[in-house]
A = this chain, B = another copy of it.
Amino acid sequence: MTHMSEDELTAEVLDRLAGTPDPRLREVMQSLVRHLHSFAREVRLTDEEWLAGIRFLTETGQKCDDVRQETILLSDTLGLSSLVDLINHTGAEPGLTEPTILGPFYVPGSPWREHGASMVEYDDGGEPAILTGRVLDVDGAPVAGAVLDVWQNASTGFYAVQQPDVQPPGNLRGRYRTDAEGRYEIRTVRPVPYPIPDDGPVGRLLEDTGRHPWRAAHVHAIVTADGHVPVVTHVFDRSSAYLHSDAVFGVKGSLVRDFVPDADGVLVCRHDIVLDRAAGSPVSLG
């Protein structure tokens, strides 16, 4: 009696999935099995390594709760989240503002704030800063009434959602509309680098692979405008540490900006955002 070969086993699993009623699920599952099996064959995965992987994934799921999503953190630190972002949100059009990952700290429903208003609601010892610029169409025309939904961490390193007993829930979050010239202006503090939560299995994996858990300093924004494709993005501080080793692979060179002191000594970060026109939308009249 001949032994079943590794390739025959993989073929049997693929064949078993051939009856998947939904064609897209069939395609995804068969590709997943092919690559998963190729990985195990390539490294000649041992019993002990397989069990370590089982335990790691189990613990990752069990670390998740209402305010902690360890599975996303795993995806982020393996570069999968950024890859999915590239696959789905990188248009062919040069000059568009590049997207980057959403991250785990977005909370919908931030307070609406006036042009130039501050989103600091808490005694933050950080450096005062102004984020300003324009939202533009691909043709360079200003987009009036675009909405920037922004959030960032406090100078303690934490987002408001991480410190409900310390920071007001609206601290360093806000929704701003662009004016008739497409301008926005946000008073805030300079963002600081911070470590992703590293007291779980993902933190151990980072340590075991000689990696640190730090993200480069940034402000998040989701920018939306009628007739345009929304963008989920960051702006990074060029002077930040970790720009070249961001733990979740979120940094893109096109999103890095200087924070430059103005005449009053307040740091100003200028960043224009260029949106793609939505398919089927009429050309913007500015």
A72 within 8 A of B: yes
How far is the CB of A90 from the nearest CB of chain B, in Å?
5
A81 at the interface (CB under 8 A from B): yes
Q: Are A33 and B78 in contact (CB under 8 A)?
A: yes
Check A75–B54 contact: CB distance below 8 A: yes
A281 at the interface (CB under 8 A from B): no
A83 at the interface (CB under 8 A from B): yes
B69 and A61: CB pair below 8 A?
no
Judging by beta carbons under 8 Å apart, are B61 and A58 in contact? Answer: yes
The answer to whether residues A20 and B58 also contact, given A4-B86, A9-B83, A90-B3 and a CB cut-off of 8 A, is no
Asked whether any CB of chain B lies closer than 8 Å to the CB of A211, the reply is yes
Q: Is A21 an interface residue (CB 8 A)?
A: yes
Question: Across the interface, do A87 and B210 meet the contact criterion of CB distance under 8 Å?
Answer: no
A50-B80, A62-B62, A80-B37 are contacts. A1–B254 as well, Cβ < 8 Å?
A: yes
In the complex, residue of chain B having the shortest beta-carbon distance to the beta carbon of A11:
B79
Task: State how many angstroms separate the Cβ of A50 from the closest Cβ of chain B.
Answer: 5
Closest chain B residue to A59 by CB distance?
B61
**Could you tell me the distance between the alpha carbons of A90 and B35 in the complex, rounded to whole angstroms?**
22
Query: Interface on chain A toward B: helix, strand, loop, or mixed SS?
Result: helix
Give chain B nearest CB distance to A39 CB in angstroms: 4
Instruction: State in angstroms the CA–CA spacing of A277 and B27 once bound together.
Output: 44
What residues of chain B lie closer than 8 Å to A98, measured between beta carbons?
1, 3-4
**Nearest-Cβ distance from residue A233 to partner chain B, whole angstroms:** 13
Tell me if A84 counts as interface (CB < 8 A to partner B): yes
Contact call A50/B249, Cβ cutoff below 8 A: no
Distance between A51 CB and nearest chain B CB, rounded to angstroms: 9
A107 within 8 A of B: no
- How far apart are the CA atoms of A57 and B62 in the complex, in Å? 10
Partner of A16, one of B37, B46, B211: B211
Q: Confirm or deny: A238 has a beta carbon within 8 angstroms of a beta carbon on chain B.
A: no
Which of B10, B75, B79 contacts A83 (CB under 8 A)?
Answer: B10
Asked whether, in the complex, the Cβ of A79 is within 8 Å of the Cβ of B13, the reply is: yes
Whether A123 is near chain B, meaning CB under 8 Å from some CB there, is: no
Chain A residues 202 to 216 lying within 8 A of chain B, measured CB to CB, are: 208-211
Q: A13-B249, A64-B58 are in contact. Are A36 and B37 (CB under 8 A)?
A: no
* Docked CA distance A209–B13 (Å): 12
Interface residues of A, Cβ cutoff 8 Å to B: 1-6, 9-10, 12-13, 16-17, 19-22, 25-29, 31-47, 49-50, 54, 57-64, 69-72, 75, 78-84, 86-88, 90, 94, 98, 208-211, 245, 249, 252-254
